[in-house]
A and B are shown apart, each in its own frame.
Chain A
Amino acid sequence: MRLANWFYALPLRLRSLFRRERVEQDLNEELQYHLERKVEEFIAQGLTPEESRYAALRAMDSLALRQEECRDARRVNFIENTVHDIRYSLRTLRKSPGFTSTAVLTLALAIGANAVVFGVLNGLVLRPVNLPEAQSLYGIERVGEDVPVESYPDYLDLRDRNRSFDGLAAYRINEAGLDTGENPSRVFLFLTSGNYFDVLRIQPYLGRFFHASDEHGPNSAPYIVLSYAYWHTRFQDDRGVVGRRVQINKHPFTIAGVAPPEFHGTLLFAYPDFFLPMVNGEQIEGRNALNDRSSRWIYLALGHLKAGVTPEQAIADLNSIGGYLERTYPKEDGHVTFGLSRPSLYGDFLGSRVRAFVTGLMLLAALILAAACANLGSLFAARAADRSREIALRLALGSSRSRILRGLFTEALLISLIGGAVGVWGSVGLLRGLSAWQPVPKFPIHVPVNPDASVYAIAVALALGSGILFGLVPVRQVLRTDPYQIVKSGSTGGAGRRITVRDLLLVVQIAICALLVTSSLVAVRGLARSLNGNFGFEPRNALLVNTVLDMAGYRGDQVPTMQKRMIDAVQKIPGVESVGLINWLPFGGAGDDSPVFTVETADLRPSNAAAVPFRFRISPEYFHTAGTALLSGRTFSWHDSENAPRVAVINREFARKVFGSETNAVGRSYKMQDGTRIQVVGIVENGKYRYLTEDPQPAMFFPILQSPSSDTSLVVRSKHDPEQLAAAIRSSLRDLDSGLPSYIETWNKQLDLARFPASVATVSLGVLGVLGAMLSVTGIFGMAAYSVSKRLKELGIRIAIGAQPKEVLEAALGRAFRLLVIGSAAGLGLGILASRVLAHIVYQATPRDPLVLGGVVLAMLGLGLLATWIPAQRALSLDPLTLLREE
């Protein structure tokens, strides 16, 4: 239709739509006028008024049909019909709340699961990193090594010798103490190469960045660049901060500028407070590693490939530098092969794991959606079967099949849209929560998975797609409906006995559900045990106070002196039973290990080591405070100092590995890699040091005075309220040094980090288990409801001729129950197999646990009962008289 026509037509269409009654009235009046004139004409011809009226009506053929034709001319019938369909569907859906809520809930869960997983996939893998020209940005990997770390001299060689990159930047992450004149605070920072911002092509939001030209050797570039978020929260958007002097670890630095809001460094999860040149690393880390080629502390070297350089060419270029490094520094570098990876997920170290994990989840979510569609399909089929009489009647009365299908489709689409909306609403909340969540409270680490338009689009598309999919299931049924047959005989043939795809699908679903239920119960039990397990220390009723004395400017001998003063000060707080000190806590992160040798070993090569035990540095009171049992010998005293002979306390596993047995180990000696002889003075019980699920590991403990460390935690044993105790500790530390930032948490809280993988596994298995259970319930429900409604008449006859309730139930639901039993047994079997995999993540995961086995059986039985309750009620409450009369 041309534009000019619309000028006339649009007002008419709108009037037809929104002033419908008025338009109808006009139509009536117009036709009425015609009729009256016609009647007058017939009367004039001599007919009686009554005869005239009939004749006039006859002349119009069918008045109602004419009216309908006039309505058709308005061209808004489609919209009106749709509105009518929607109204009708809403009414029928409201009339069967059980069906509606089951369907909506099923779909909401399935769509929600897909939206969440897609949101994670989108946030972590699909969405390009928020950096200029991200597609040419690559990080340098060392093939065959877990983490892409480099030493500073190696980084310089790579940076200066390559011909493939437009500059090569580097970064490392660390903590420091920032003092702006008020309270000192712990900050999280990126140590970066001077060219970092220039290589990444970032422009400052405020002030200026530091550049390669600012670097003139160690500690020559005392500048920091604030992240936008930190500037916003810590400095309240004060534009005057540029040029301000601050103290970091008691060294003076100048705030050079503020980074733009969208930039938070080159690691997707990390949100550093500021950036600081790594040539000043000594002031942050307490040691100068700029010239040490064997100390690989740079996290990642990264840069943009030059225009026209392919990744393959760049790798070849890097490997020729690798050859040079191998020839020139055989001791430090050895043979290396370089590779390239995307930098934002820390190369392949995290990237490949995250991708694999998220892809797996996506597959699972897709499976869940497919199962949900299948279930909804059978629910709709059951519903259509229930309404076959109504449909047959409507067909018989002249309704078209397409009109009836449109009605059913409207219903399916309505369900899918409502379910999709609920699912999206839930998943958006979940994704927002996930983005705001800080998995490690000590560090600003986030999982940036905020939903964007593509998440909504995918969710809506999936909802509509599945609506069409399960809306299609009853189509064949309706198309085959023969109104004559149905109205006459009441039912559409008997139920088939063969195994259908639907049965198979249901068994698979139930099996998956049972598998998930088994695994999540195993995980929950393991997690519960890990809260009360024996780790070689007692985490209950203990607080941890972490301090890094570097941050407050302590150097050399000041460090142990201050640590002793801190121990004494905290010890004096009322209610404190004992205080110990340790340099890093079990499960406190990467940890520290070192090869040890028997005294007989002359060649101290790593391959000749007797063991590679974990190394801890502790105060004399540590074992007592931590609750680690001393098995033989003695612990340390403050006399085990620098000038005293080097001593160690070892654990049982160390004694077994190095000395063969623990009985005669006390008093014997072993050697460190540098040849130092160390005498064993005591043996303690084994513990867990890195993973909750690890096998016994060797460990050795050194007196803190003989191997000092500035980054330590006080372990404070007390039964007092942790909140109040933490406040008291804070105040007594402030009395010692108001410029020393500390971090206080309960030991149990700190263990959350160790329990993190197990918690994630438990939560995701639990969520998936609930989803699986929901789907099984709707699946069984759909099938049971279908079989009951299909066989209503048969069941009625059975009841009429005296069948007992048990027999009726057997006839109605036997098949559903058999499927449930088969599926559950298969799932339980699979779950027992899967627990072996789970044992790597979850503490003491075993399915041979009566509680787990009983729980699974009970859960599946409960699901079965829940799902078949309504159909069973319906089958039992059948009144054969009513039924037979109706049919």
Chain B
Amino acid sequence: MSRPSDLVQGTLDLLLLKILALEPLNGWAISQRLKQVSGDVLQVSDGSLYPALHKLEQEGWITAEWKASENNRRAKFYSLTRLGRSQLQKEAANWARLSGAITQVVRLEEA
């Protein structure tokens, strides 16, 4: 199974939840948004996006709905559920703790 190598495992979930917290989007739009907001730093392969989305859906954090897309075609739009919102808070807090700790370690001055 190929995972985005430069993504810390588990952070893809956080990114997806965060993006969907702003507005409901379809899969294509999510991939575009990811590139756009991270300035192409976070490369998520198109293939690995969908299994991740389906996993979040099965967890009950996001829910899907078929709607007309921006170019007026039928597409599957994902939106955050109440459960997903609290999950997002938890994962965001986790991330803050983790990244803070790592930053601290990196900043240590060599003796």
| A contact residues vs B (CB 8 Å cutoff) | 1, 4-9, 12-13, 26, 29-31, 33-34, 36-38, 59-63, 65-66, 69-70, 72-75
Assembly CA distance A4 to B57 (angstroms): 14
**Interchain nearest-CB distance for B50 vs A (Å):** 6
**Interchain nearest-CB distance for B78 vs A (Å):** 10
Q: Which B residues are in CB contact (< 8 Å) with A74?
A: 54, 58
Q: Which A residues are in CB contact (< 8 Å) with B47?
A: 59-63, 65-66
Assembly CA distance A1 to B58 (angstroms): 11
| Centre residue among B28, B57, B66, B83 by max chain A CB count within 10 A | B28
Given contacts A5-B60, A34-B46, contact A70 B28 (CB under 8 A): no
Contact B51 A60, beta carbon cutoff 8 Å: no
**Interchain nearest-CB distance for A717 vs B (Å):** 88
B59: interface (CB < 8 Å): yes
Contact A9 B51, beta carbon cutoff 8 Å: no
**Interchain nearest-CB distance for A378 vs B (Å):** 41
B90: interface (CB < 8 Å): no
Instruction: Please name the residue on chain B nearest to A75 by beta carbon.
Output: B58
Instruction: Please name the residue on chain A nearest to B76 by beta carbon.
Output: A30
What's the count of A-B pairs with C-beta under 8 Å? 78
Given contacts A37-B28, A59-B45, A69-B51, contact A5 B83 (CB under 8 A): yes
| B contact residues vs A (CB 8 Å cutoff) | 1-2, 26-28, 31, 45-48, 50-51, 54-55, 57-60, 63, 66, 69, 73-76, 81, 83
Contact A73 B55, beta carbon cutoff 8 Å: yes
Contact A4 B26, beta carbon cutoff 8 Å: no
Q: Which B residues are in CB contact (< 8 Å) with A1?
A: 59
Assembly CA distance A75 to B55 (angstroms): 9
Contact A12 B28, beta carbon cutoff 8 Å: no
Assembly CA distance A370 to B2 (angstroms): 49
Contact A4 B60, beta carbon cutoff 8 Å: yes
Contact A29 B46, beta carbon cutoff 8 Å: no
Known: A33-B26, A59-B45. 6 other contacts (CB 8 A): A8-B60, A29-B74, A33-B76, A34-B50, A61-B48, A73-B54
Contact A70 B76, beta carbon cutoff 8 Å: no
Contact A30 B75, beta carbon cutoff 8 Å: yes
Give 3 nearest A-B pairs by CB, closest first: A8-B60, A69-B51, A73-B54
Q: Which A residues are in CB contact (< 8 Å) with B83?
A: 4-5, 8
Contact B46 A70, beta carbon cutoff 8 Å: no
**Interchain nearest-CB distance for A796 vs B (Å):** 46
Given contacts A30-B75, A30-B76, A34-B28, contact A66 B58 (CB under 8 A): no
Assembly CA distance A36 to B73 (angstroms): 11
| Centre residue among B31, B54, B57 by max chain A CB count within 10 A | B54
Assembly CA distance A356 to B108 (angstroms): 83
Contact A66 B26, beta carbon cutoff 8 Å: no
Contact B51 A33, beta carbon cutoff 8 Å: no
Assembly CA distance A74 to B60 (angstroms): 12
| Centre residue among A7, A13, A34, A75 by max chain B CB count within 10 A | A34
Contact B27 A73, beta carbon cutoff 8 Å: no
Q: Find B69's partner among A31, A33, A61, A62 (CB 8 Å cutoff).
A: A33
Contact B81 A8, beta carbon cutoff 8 Å: yes
Q: Find A70's partner among B2, B50, B59 (CB 8 Å cutoff).
A: B50
Assembly CA distance A13 to B47 (angstroms): 23
**Interchain nearest-CB distance for B96 vs A (Å):** 24
Assembly CA distance A70 to B48 (angstroms): 9
**Interchain nearest-CB distance for B9 vs A (Å):** 15
Assembly CA distance A33 to B28 (angstroms): 8
Instruction: Please name the residue on chain A nearest to B31 by beta carbon.
Output: A34
Instruction: Please name the residue on chain A nearest to B87 by beta carbon.
Output: A5
Assembly CA distance A328 to B50 (angstroms): 99
**Interchain nearest-CB distance for B63 vs A (Å):** 7
Q: Which B residues are in CB contact (< 8 Å) with A12?
A: 57-58
Contact B45 A73, beta carbon cutoff 8 Å: no
**Interchain nearest-CB distance for B20 vs A (Å):** 15
Q: Which B residues are in CB contact (< 8 Å) with A29?
A: 74, 76
* 8 CB < 8 A contacts A-B: A5-B83, A26-B66, A29-B76, A33-B73, A37-B28, A38-B28, A59-B47, A66-B48
Assembly CA distance A69 to B45 (angstroms): 14
Contact A9 B60, beta carbon cutoff 8 Å: yes
Contact B51 A66, beta carbon cutoff 8 Å: yes
Q: Find A66's partner among B31, B50, B75, B76 (CB 8 Å cutoff).
A: B50
Q: Which B residues are in CB contact (< 8 Å) with A70?
A: 50-51, 54
Assembly CA distance A267 to B45 (angstroms): 80
Assembly CA distance A59 to B74 (angstroms): 22
Q: Find B59's partner among A9, A33, A59 (CB 8 Å cutoff).
A: A9
Contact B51 A26, beta carbon cutoff 8 Å: no
**Interchain nearest-CB distance for B81 vs A (Å):** 6
Q: Which B residues are in CB contact (< 8 Å) with A66?
A: 47-48, 50-51
Q: Find B45's partner among A13, A30, A61, A63 (CB 8 Å cutoff).
A: A61
Assembly CA distance A70 to B51 (angstroms): 5
Q: Which A residues are in CB contact (< 8 Å) with B74?
A: 29, 33
Assembly CA distance A397 to B29 (angstroms): 37
**Interchain nearest-CB distance for B97 vs A (Å):** 22
**Interchain nearest-CB distance for B36 vs A (Å):** 13
Q: Find A73's partner among B2, B26, B58 (CB 8 Å cutoff).
A: B58
Assembly CA distance A12 to B56 (angstroms): 12
Q: Which B residues are in CB contact (< 8 Å) with A65?
A: 47
| Centre residue among B50, B57, B66, B81 by max chain A CB count within 10 A | B50
**Interchain nearest-CB distance for A9 vs B (Å):** 5
| Centre residue among A13, A29, A73, A75 by max chain B CB count within 10 A | A73
Q: Which B residues are in CB contact (< 8 Å) with A62?
A: 47
Instruction: Please name the residue on chain A nearest to B49 by beta carbon.
Output: A34
**Interchain nearest-CB distance for A830 vs B (Å):** 63
Q: Find A9's partner among B31, B46, B58 (CB 8 Å cutoff).
A: B58
Q: Find A31's partner among B45, B50, B57 (CB 8 Å cutoff).
A: B50
Instruction: Please name the residue on chain B nearest to A9 by beta carbon.
Output: B60
Contact B58 A33, beta carbon cutoff 8 Å: no
**Interchain nearest-CB distance for B61 vs A (Å):** 8
Q: Which A residues are in CB contact (< 8 Å) with B46?
A: 34, 38, 59-60
Assembly CA distance A73 to B59 (angstroms): 9
Assembly CA distance A1 to B59 (angstroms): 8
Assembly CA distance A13 to B60 (angstroms): 11
Instruction: Please name the residue on chain B nearest to A16 by beta carbon.
Output: B58
Q: Which A residues are in CB contact (< 8 Å) with B31?
A: 34
Q: Which B residues are in CB contact (< 8 Å) with A31?
A: 50
Contact A30 B50, beta carbon cutoff 8 Å: yes
Q: Which B residues are in CB contact (< 8 Å) with A38?
A: 28, 46
Assembly CA distance A13 to B28 (angstroms): 25
**Interchain nearest-CB distance for A7 vs B (Å):** 7
Instruction: Please name the residue on chain A nearest to B70 by beta carbon.
Output: A37
Q: Which B residues are in CB contact (< 8 Å) with A26?
A: 66, 76
Q: Which B residues are in CB contact (< 8 Å) with A63?
A: 47
**Interchain nearest-CB distance for A151 vs B (Å):** 81
Given contacts A30-B76, A59-B45, contact A5 B59 (CB under 8 A): yes
Instruction: Please name the residue on chain B nearest to A37 by beta carbon.
Output: B28
Q: Which A residues are in CB contact (< 8 Å) with B60?
A: 4-9
**Interchain nearest-CB distance for B107 vs A (Å):** 38
Instruction: Please name the residue on chain B nearest to A59 by beta carbon.
Output: B46
Assembly CA distance A65 to B47 (angstroms): 9
Instruction: Please name the residue on chain B nearest to A56 by beta carbon.
Output: B46
Assembly CA distance A12 to B58 (angstroms): 7
Contact B1 A69, beta carbon cutoff 8 Å: yes
